[in-house]
């Protein structure tokens, strides 16, 4: 065989050997890289948005959009079967609203009595067919903020907000003219005297009990703080709440402003994590996957991780984009084609703080800006405008 042919075959053999060795190294490296957790790697696209920490989110702002289709205003209705029981057997109690359980088997009846202030109410547990089951709240516990009474999404727990009320007035003994006559039993449900001791506080706290109305206890115990809002995580693992000091509540009430509180995360064991030191009027909301919480401070959207270990947070600052959007909005409204609009908040009535946040999908967060004042008998809520931010992982995460 010619020597040139032998040398050529030898080179081909060595090249094949090198290629096989290179492939072996690459396969080994790929196998080792595949063993890393997605939380440890920054060179892969997260499978779902819940894997992206709050401080690794990117966004795109879109102004003055149509109100979200999925946003359905709550209609406060009273279940007819429960209303019928109040009409027939409880004429002295005023049914305020009913809150059905997720499985529609039970319902909470919120009602007022003559012995309590107009802002306070009590809660009873009913079957959906209108059958009274039991009193849920003790007579010395006054419930407030009826819109916060809720079931956990799996129907296992009930939460509401209440504070210590005045002792109930004793029930007068009926006057009996015939000593042999036995007074008829009252047809109306009454607060059972066998309530176990429940801790109560002078300021509003969050209470929790099971679906049968038992094991009632305070979930929060921060005397001096007013908890005025709470919301269950979609997966039931915790609640997000707003709370403020009594003095802060009274000061804002005197100025006809919306209540404002500091957002906090509350676990079912009562442990609490303060999410921010600033006060907000925007009620915090959960992401649909329960991994994060969002609220707003003036013109900034805040996003927090709900995870207990190494949580992060981020702020989306939107003052300048909202100013430009307000200038464009008012030009469009007034048909003013003049260029060079002064981006001065004082001269743009439509430029207002964020008052509401709505997070229906992990990658799309809606928010509303408006001017709101709680003037007695004539509340003001003008310049309601909807916007959105589209969320995605930062390039540093995708690499």
Specify the pLDDT at position 18.
Answer: 61
Residue 278: CB partners within 8 Å, gap ≥ 6?
A: 262, 297
Query: What distance in Å separates the CA atoms of residue 77 and residue 294, rounded to the nearest whole number?
Result: 29
Query: What distance in Å separates the CA atoms of residue 280 and residue 127, rounded to the nearest whole number?
Result: 38
Residue written as token pair 């005045």: 166
Q: Quick one: pLDDT band at residue 393, thresholds 50, 70, 90? A: very high
Greatest C-alpha distance within the chain: 136
Q: Quick one: pLDDT band at residue 15, thresholds 50, 70, 90? A: low
Terminal Cα-to-Cα distance of the chain (whole angstroms): 54
What are phi and psi for residue 280, nearest 5 degrees? -135, 145
CB 268 within 8 A of CB 237: yes
- The model's pLDDT over 62-108, given as tens digits with 9 standing for 90+, comes to 999 999 876 655 556 799 999 999 999 999 999 999 999 999 999 99
What are phi and psi for residue 14, nearest 5 degrees? -65, -40
Residue 395: CB partners within 8 Å, gap ≥ 6?
A: 58
Find which of 45-59, 112-126, 273-287 is predicted with most confidence, using mean pLDDT: 273-287
Token output for 112: 């007022």
CA distances from 279 to 248, 287, 363, 375 (A): 10, 21, 26, 21
Query: What distance in Å separates the CA atoms of residue 313 and residue 63, rounded to the nearest whole number?
Result: 23
Residue 24: half-sphere exposure toward Cβ, Cα within 13 Å: 6
Residue written as token pair 């007819």: 80
Token output for 161: 């907000």
Q: Alpha helix locations (H) across 335-394?
A: none
**pLDDT of 244 higher than 60:** yes
- The model's pLDDT over 344-365, given as tens digits with 9 standing for 90+, comes to 666 789 999 999 999 999 999 9
Specify the pLDDT at position 340.
Answer: 52
Residue 90's nearest CA partner among 58, 126, 120, 118 is 126
CB 362 within 8 A of CB 287: yes
Residue 379: CB partners within 8 Å, gap ≥ 6?
A: 372, 373
Query: What distance in Å separates the CA atoms of residue 123 and residue 381, rounded to the nearest whole number?
Result: 31
Is residue 81 packed enough to be buried (19+ CB in 10 Å), middle (13-18) or exposed (0-12)? middle
What are phi and psi for residue 236, nearest 5 degrees? 70, 10
Complete domains list, the chain, with CATH:
49-166+191-398 (2.120.10)
Residue written as token pair 């006559």: 181
Other CB atoms within 10 A of residue 280 CB: 25
What is the DSSP secondary structure assignment for residue 366, as one 8-state letter?
E
Q: What does pTM read for this prediction?
A: 0.79
Q: Quick one: pLDDT band at residue 33, thresholds 50, 70, 90? A: very low
- The model's pLDDT over 186-209, given as tens digits with 9 standing for 90+, comes to 445 555 456 778 999 999 999 999
Find which of 16-25, 69-78, 236-245 is predicted with most confidence, using mean pLDDT: 236-245
CB 283 within 8 A of CB 229: yes
Residue written as token pair 């149509």: 66
Query: What distance in Å separates the CA atoms of residue 112 and residue 90, rounded to the nearest whole number?
Result: 11
């Amino acid at each position: 065989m010619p020597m040139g042919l032998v040398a050529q075959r030898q080179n081909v053999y060595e090249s094949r050997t090198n290629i096989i060795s290179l492939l072996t190294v690459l396969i080994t490296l790929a196998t080792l890289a595949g063993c890393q957790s997605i939380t440890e790697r920054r060179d892969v696209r997260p499978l779902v948005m819940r894997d992206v920490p709050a401080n690794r989110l990117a966004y795109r702002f879109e102004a003055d959009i149509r109100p979200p289709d999925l946003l359905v205003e709550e209609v406060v209705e009273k279940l007819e079967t429960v209303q019928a029981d109040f009409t027939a057997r409880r004429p002295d109690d005023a049914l305020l609203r009913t809150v059905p359980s997720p499985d529609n088997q039970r319902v909470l009846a919120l009602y007022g009595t003559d012995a309590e202030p107009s802002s306070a109410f009590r809660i009873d547990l009913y079957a959906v067919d209108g059958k009274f089951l039991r009193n849920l709240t003790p007579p010395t516990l006054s419930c407030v903020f009826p819109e916060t009474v809720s079931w956990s999404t799996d129907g296992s727990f009930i939460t509401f907000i209440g504070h210590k009320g005045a002792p109930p007035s004793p029930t007068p003994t009926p006057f009996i003219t015939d000593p042999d006559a036995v007074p008829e039993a009252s047809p109306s449900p009454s607060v059972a005297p066998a309530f176990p001791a429940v801790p109560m506080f002078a300021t509003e706290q969050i209470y929790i009990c099971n679906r049968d109305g038992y094991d009632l206890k305070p979930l929060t115990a921060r005397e001096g703080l007013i908890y005025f809002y709470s919301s269950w995580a979609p997966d039931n693992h915790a609640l997000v709440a707003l709370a403020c000091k009594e003095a802060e509540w009274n000061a804002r009430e005197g100025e006809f402003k919306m209540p404002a509180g500091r957002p906090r995360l509350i676990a079912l064991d009562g442990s609490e994590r303060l999410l921010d030191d600033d006060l907000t009027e925007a009620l915090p909301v959960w992401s649909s996957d329960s991994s994060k919480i969002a609220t707003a401070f003036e013109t900034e959207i805040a996003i927090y991780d709900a995870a207990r270990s190494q949580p992060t947070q981020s702020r989306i600052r939107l003052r300048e984009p909202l100013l430009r959007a307000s200038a464009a909005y008012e030009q469009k409204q007034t048909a003013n084609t003049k260029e060079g609009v002064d981006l001065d908040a004082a001269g743009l009535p439509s430029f207002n703080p964020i008052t509401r946040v709505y997070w229906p999908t992990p990658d799309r967060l809606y928010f509303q800006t408006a001017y709101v004042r709680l003037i007695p008998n004539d509340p003001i809520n003008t310049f309601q405008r909807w916007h959105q931010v589209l969320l995605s992982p930062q390039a540093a995460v995708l690499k």
